Structure 1
Amino acid sequence: MKRLVLISVLLLIAIGSQANPPNLEEGTSLKVSGKVIDQSTNEPLAFANIIYNHTGTTTNLQGEFVFQINYHRTENMLFIKFIGYETAAIPLGIDNTNLSVTLTPKAEMLEEVVVVTADQVLKDVNNYHQINYEYSDQLLSSYYKETLSTSKDCIYLAEGIFDIYYPTIYSKEKPTIHARKTRKKTFALLDTLEMPLINGHATDMIDGITRRTDSFIKKEKLDHYTFTKKGLTWYDGREVFQINFEPKTKKADCRGIIYIDSESKAVIRTEYQPILEGQNFWKKVKWTEEYKEVNNSWYIHRVSYLGEWDQHGEAVTFEALLVVTDFETIATKPELTEALTKNDIFFHQASSFSENFWEDFNYIKLNEKEKLALGN
């Protein structure tokens, strides 16, 4: 722990020594773009977290990112974070485009001073729940994307910019979603596919495991799972428990991995697969949720869903991605006049998929398969 404190102090000194770049005034709008790669493999890092102040985005499958921020003179660093890697701190300047960011895997093996069981960690997650998550209602700005594809072709692509009313964990209110700008493109006749009704909606995605009453981390659900602590890893200079879990009773409905901050006992990341027994459609389903810390509270940052089924011997994959790019604390519930219902199909057919379409909104760059489909 002393070593961690020393590292943190040195990092703060380094950050404080960075002079503000010239000609950048408070509130200046900056466009930041680049690519994040693994130092040891030189491979791109998908879904690395790009954080500036309380705003954030993530990298695409090729490790690329683009990010619009409002500059604050007290915050001159862009942080790139990924579990198991050392955090990179990038000083902002006049030109912040085409950055090349290399993340170094944290090679040091961690040893626990105090032996803590996985069951104890999960109990602490619940005991600390009321102080780890948002106290007030939030208005979230977010980007959403969904694709339908095979191993070779992209069949359907849709994107949207959302405003989301996100009530505090203490409220009985439900999140409300308003689509500000959307677009979609179909590359095949979707009605020829044997697929479930997928409308493209983020309601289920925004209700993360820390909020759902039937979540597998809730006290009343813990006895239905076997939790096994696999050790410690790193995230942003913090020690993180990696805990695997499996069903123990028939009331369990998933299995996966949870990453929990050893100090705050907050969930940082979850990866889980619902149990698919008893249905004949889905061959593979995986959820991933990631949280970010702002002023000692943890907020949902990214949620992704992957579902795969067999279509006449060929695998078809549905992927959805929700990234919260910014948020603000609000005192009253906003009037979202065009709030979506669960069955709304809200994407508008688009003839152009230029990145200029998003103007000043934050978005995620399309991957190579999606760009190729649009080019054809």
Structure 2
Amino acid sequence: MNRFLQIIFFLSFFSVFSQTKVGGIVQDESGEPIAFANIIFKNSSEGTITNDNGRFYIESDEVYDTVLVSFIGYETLEIELGQKVTYNMEIILQEAAEQLAEVVVYTGKQSKKDNPAIEILKKIWAKKRQNGVRQFEQYQYDKYEKLEFDLNTIDSALIKSKLFKGLEFMFQDLDTSRITGKTYLPMFLNESFSKVYGDNLLKEEKEDVLGNKNAGFGGNQSITAFVEDLYSDYDIYNNYLKFFDKSFTSPLSKTGVDTYNYVLSDSTFIDNKWCYNIIYYPRRKNELTFKGDFWVSDTTYAIKKINLQVTKSANINWVKEIYIEQDFDVVNDSVFLLKRDYMLSDFSFSKKEESRGVYGKRTTVYDNYQFDKKRPEDFYKAKSDPYDPRIFKRDSTFWKNARLEQLNEDESGIFKMLDTLKTVPKFRTYYDIVSILGSGYIEIDKWNIDIGNIYSVFGFNDAEGTRVRLGARTYFGQNDTWRLEGYMAYGFKDQKAKHGLSAKFLLDRKTRLILSGGNRRDIEQLGISLTSTNDVLGRSIASSALVTVGANDRLTNINLSTLNFEMEPAKNFRVRLGGSFRTLSSALPDAFSLDYLDSEAPNGISSEVRQFDINTTLIYTPGRRTIGYGVERDEINDDYSTLLLNYTKGTRGFLESDFDYERLQFSYRQPWQIGGLGRLTSSVELGKTFGEVPLSLLSVVPGNQTLFSLYNTFPNLDFYEFVTDTYATVHLEHNFNGRLFSRIPFLRKLNLREIIGLRGAWGQLSDENIALNSPTNIPLIAPDDQIYWEYSFGIGNIFKIFRLDFNFRGNYLDNPNARPFGITGTFGFNF
């Protein structure tokens, strides 16, 4: 979400020209706005519908002199246009004396029998099929994609403000959106051209990127990743369409009749095919729904043209408008090919009509379809390199031929304008401020070093008291093949310095062979994770939480050194092999003892562990998408599953290591989009340690004594309350995204979101390990009698940024200082 804020803040600091433009408001005789009224240019299929406030904007490349305004129950109004551009129209519709008998609109559950639009919808369901390219053995086509960000709602006050003093040249060429009617200034543009090849028999597809060109944020990988994730592919025939991590009910869905009202509005020829026009709009407010219309062929019942606009009342943050258009070429009864896909998002901190924001637009054009051209399987295995430097250096001749849709005058000017902006000190200052807020790092370009992370500067815990930390990393570019990073920290209570150092080297780009290593000497809360930390730079929030529940004194001194090799032999499958040596001791020995029996110690008890481990880890993340090819890559989606298998071998004697043991661990995390019911996140972890080990090497069921809601922890458990050498845990968390609250009238306008959680843990601790750790002052309890469980109810989206969780403990209430109830929370910018 920081990527989103980076774009919003930055642009907030700073088509072929249409022939006919019309905008205004539609009202009834009493002055009330009419939502979802139909606006269409006479003798055309070009139209739109009014928004929730009765407002509309429509434009066309053609010249029209008449516009038709209609809505069920009102007389159709035919308005002559005296000029090409007509804004601020106030249109009054008169109630009709008689309603049309052949079209019936219901406010409750619809009768499928009496509504002709529903009858057409049934035929769409019966004949809906995959994209037409799936009907052939092989296929190929050209694909041109254009991504753009624009600053919108520009007026004279903004242009003359002190913020843009000295940057007035930016506003010399402004255009007007054909969707919203607002003026906008293009600030970022990315173009790509590729050829796509597929074989349905082999079930193979590959995309060869032949050209890529951008202006604006080309060097900012996090913003590029945000854009990629923002505009993921979708299929309008699916029951639900996912945008911004939320599922919107498709108007073509079989569940649509319970979500939308449908009206058969018109019929006409489009490209020599007779088509019906159906208008749809939502039955209820605050749900994740669209409004708009679609044209459908009368013989194939394939969609010829559709537009979808998210209603303003939809429970989604920071997005004022989402508008989608798709045009299809209906070839015959079994083939319909996507020709053009357009999506516009209007990002803004407010949904008020006059609020300024940022347009994010994606246009994808498909052409030159060819079918049944057979290629050997090796052709599909040979993937092209999307980061080949030649791809980013294509000349003007290449782009003139590659653009399946030409740039308009404003878009063409982006490259020149941004070249000029980069030389303006004031612009660089704005960019640097926002870059720091978004990434957390201060860029020192002349040294190729970033200072940060600024969000980790201050912390507090019982051992260190107030703590300060300052770090830095090398940064030559987003695709660096090596990176050095480190930090220094100081605790004012223990008066000790700490540090962390890390180095990573990409040795082979094809297999992503990476050598990494480092050293960390610090204080850490180990009882918040089931897996031993091998991160020489990271730090859990529990180690520095300003406010905690109960005594947060079970902290550990850690001196960790690591050396690892990692490679990716297959896409999204990583293999990691490495070794680590750690020294562990209690940071507060009087309150938290890590003592264990040691026959070789002078008094038979040791307080410190020295341990060398060899680790082998397999990680599989199907569906994971990344951007960049450097030693560090950004992820551009979070809807993939993660399967992890880890084997650890502790070796006694090597480097004076203390223990021989083996540990096997498995975890599986999966997010699930449950249609219109929201998003479920599930995770399962299993593990077993073979051999006798001290408390500092056992598996602690993750407690949480902070006031933050942390997934994969148990908020009603104290740190080290349950200690195991064999364990199994499960976590379930479901976010309904306001589906339930939207049906409660007095809660509907608050756009709250309901979250429920269920957590469980079972574990055992062997008698041998209990005996070994008998000197410790920590009760060694494992949840072996019955599964420990908790449940929670949460309310999210409070003031758009806060979430509160009410957590309940299900059992083991007799444990010392057991907490039966607790409240945790978090904050963040989420759609």
Aligned residue in 2 for 1:209: 236
1:307 to 340, 345, 350: 345
Aligned residue in 2 for 1:143: 144
In our comparison, the structure showing a higher alpha carbon Rg is 2
Q: Does 1:233 align with 2:280?
A: no
Following the alignment from structure 2 to structure 1, what is the Cα–Cα distance between the partners of residues 322 and 368?
28
Please say which of residues 126-135 and 266-275 is displaced more in the overlay. Answer: 126-135
Spell out, residue by residue over 1:102-133, the C-alpha distance to the aligned partner (whole angstroms, 9 max, x if none). Answer: 978799x9xxxx98710011111122335994
1:369 to 399, 403, 410: 410
Aligned residue in 2 for 1:318: 360
Following the alignment from structure 1 to structure 2, what is the Cα–Cα distance between the partners of residues 290 and 314?
30
- Summarize the Cα distance change of 1:274–1:357 in structure 2 as closer, same or farther, 3 Å threshold: same
Following the alignment from structure 2 to structure 1, what is the Cα–Cα distance between the partners of residues 363 and 342?
4
- Summarize the Cα distance change of 1:218–1:348 in structure 2 as closer, same or farther, 3 Å threshold: farther
1:335 deviates by 0.9
- Summarize the Cα distance change of 1:229–1:364 in structure 2 as closer, same or farther, 3 Å threshold: same
- Summarize the Cα distance change of 1:373–1:308 in structure 2 as closer, same or farther, 3 Å threshold: same
Aligned residue in 2 for 1:280: 317
Q: Does 1:158 align with 2:190?
A: yes
Following the alignment from structure 1 to structure 2, what is the Cα–Cα distance between the partners of residues 345 and 257?
40
Q: Which amino acid is 1:304 matched to?
A: Y
Contact 2:239–2:254 at 8 Å: present in 1 too? no
Query: What does residue range 286-305 of structure 1 map to in structure 2 within 5 Å?
Result: 286-296=323-333, 297-305=335-343
Any idea what SS the aligned residue of 2:146 has? Answer: strand
Contact 2:318–2:349 at 8 Å: present in 1 too? no
Following the alignment from structure 1 to structure 2, what is the Cα–Cα distance between the partners of residues 83 and 180?
38
Following the alignment from structure 1 to structure 2, what is the Cα–Cα distance between the partners of residues 202 and 370?
19
Following the alignment from structure 2 to structure 1, what is the Cα–Cα distance between the partners of residues 254 and 290?
16
2:258 to 223, 245, 257: 223
Contact 1:167–1:173 at 8 Å: present in 2 too? yes
Following the alignment from structure 1 to structure 2, what is the Cα–Cα distance between the partners of residues 196 and 244?
35
Any idea what SS the aligned residue of 2:397 has? Answer: helix
1:278 deviates by 2.8
2:228 to 181, 186, 199: 199
Following the alignment from structure 2 to structure 1, what is the Cα–Cα distance between the partners of residues 228 and 131?
33
1:374 deviates by 2.6
Q: Which amino acid is 2:341 matched to?
A: V
Contact 2:324–2:343 at 8 Å: present in 1 too? yes
1:233 deviates by 3.1
- Summarize the Cα distance change of 1:266–1:254 in structure 2 as closer, same or farther, 3 Å threshold: same
Query: What does residue range 147-186 of structure 1 map to in structure 2 within 5 Å?
Result: 147-151=148-152, 152=171, 153-165=185-197, 177-186=207-216
Spell out, residue by residue over 1:157-185, the C-alpha distance to the aligned partner (whole angstroms, 9 max, x if none). Answer: 110112234677xx996965442211111
Q: Which amino acid is 2:190 matched to?
A: A
Contact 2:205–2:380 at 8 Å: present in 1 too? no
Following the alignment from structure 1 to structure 2, what is the Cα–Cα distance between the partners of residues 314 and 176?
40
- Summarize the Cα distance change of 1:244–1:336 in structure 2 as closer, same or farther, 3 Å threshold: farther
1:370 deviates by 1.4
- Summarize the Cα distance change of 1:37–1:275 in structure 2 as closer, same or farther, 3 Å threshold: closer
Gaps of 5+ in 2: 1-14, 22-42, 47-60, 69-101, 104-114, 153-170, 172-184, 242-249, 418-831
The count of corresponding residues between Structure 1 and Structure 2 is 273
Any idea what SS the aligned residue of 2:123 has? Answer: helix
Following the alignment from structure 1 to structure 2, what is the Cα–Cα distance between the partners of residues 361 and 118?
40
Spell out, residue by residue over 1:18-58, the C-alpha distance to the aligned partner (whole angstroms, 9 max, x if none). Answer: xxxxxxxxxxxxxxxxx9999xxx559xxxxxxxxxxxxxx
2:289 to 237, 241, 253: 253
Following the alignment from structure 1 to structure 2, what is the Cα–Cα distance between the partners of residues 339 and 274?
37
Which structure is higher in RCO with an 8 Å CA cutoff and minimum separation 6?
Answer: 1
Contact 2:302–2:330 at 8 Å: present in 1 too? no
Following the alignment from structure 1 to structure 2, what is the Cα–Cα distance between the partners of residues 263 and 104?
31
Q: Does 1:335 align with 2:365?
A: no
- Summarize the Cα distance change of 1:269–1:314 in structure 2 as closer, same or farther, 3 Å threshold: same
Aligned residue in 1 for 2:306: 270
1:306 deviates by 0.4
Contact 2:294–2:307 at 8 Å: present in 1 too? yes
Any idea what SS the aligned residue of 1:278 has? Answer: coil
Gaps of 5+ in 1: 1-34, 45-81, 86-101
Contact 2:328–2:338 at 8 Å: present in 1 too? yes
Contact 1:183–1:348 at 8 Å: present in 2 too? no
1:146 deviates by 0.7
Spell out, residue by residue over 1:259-309, the C-alpha distance to the aligned partner (whole angstroms, 9 max, x if none). Answer: 112232210011002356333211111111110123552111100110111
Any idea what SS the aligned residue of 1:317 has? Answer: strand
Q: Which amino acid is 1:266 matched to?
A: A
- Summarize the Cα distance change of 1:104–1:174 in structure 2 as closer, same or farther, 3 Å threshold: farther
Contact 1:230–1:244 at 8 Å: present in 2 too? yes
Please say which of residues 310-319 and 176-185 is displaced more in the overlay. Answer: 310-319
Contact 1:142–1:325 at 8 Å: present in 2 too? yes
Any idea what SS the aligned residue of 1:335 has? Answer: helix
Contact 1:159–1:347 at 8 Å: present in 2 too? no
After superposition, the CA RMSD in angstroms is 4.6
Any idea what SS the aligned residue of 1:198 has? Answer: helix
Q: Which amino acid is 1:84 matched to?
A: S
Q: Does 1:122 align with 2:154?
A: no
- Summarize the Cα distance change of 1:366–1:263 in structure 2 as closer, same or farther, 3 Å threshold: same
Any idea what SS the aligned residue of 1:363 has? Answer: coil
Following the alignment from structure 1 to structure 2, what is the Cα–Cα distance between the partners of residues 374 and 319?
17
Following the alignment from structure 1 to structure 2, what is the Cα–Cα distance between the partners of residues 181 and 339?
12
1:258 deviates by 1.0
Contact 1:259–1:270 at 8 Å: present in 2 too? yes
Contact 2:239–2:252 at 8 Å: present in 1 too? no
1:336 deviates by 6.1
Following the alignment from structure 1 to structure 2, what is the Cα–Cα distance between the partners of residues 37 and 314?
23
- Summarize the Cα distance change of 1:253–1:172 in structure 2 as closer, same or farther, 3 Å threshold: farther
Any idea what SS the aligned residue of 1:150 has? Answer: strand
Following the alignment from structure 1 to structure 2, what is the Cα–Cα distance between the partners of residues 83 and 132?
27
Following the alignment from structure 1 to structure 2, what is the Cα–Cα distance between the partners of residues 346 and 253?
41
Q: Which amino acid is 2:282 matched to?
A: P
The normalised TM-score by structure 1 is: 0.58
Q: Which amino acid is 1:119 matched to?
A: I
1:364 deviates by 1.9
Contact 1:238–1:261 at 8 Å: present in 2 too? yes
Any idea what SS the aligned residue of 2:299 has? Answer: coil
Following the alignment from structure 1 to structure 2, what is the Cα–Cα distance between the partners of residues 226 and 175?
39
Following the alignment from structure 2 to structure 1, what is the Cα–Cα distance between the partners of residues 389 and 265?
42
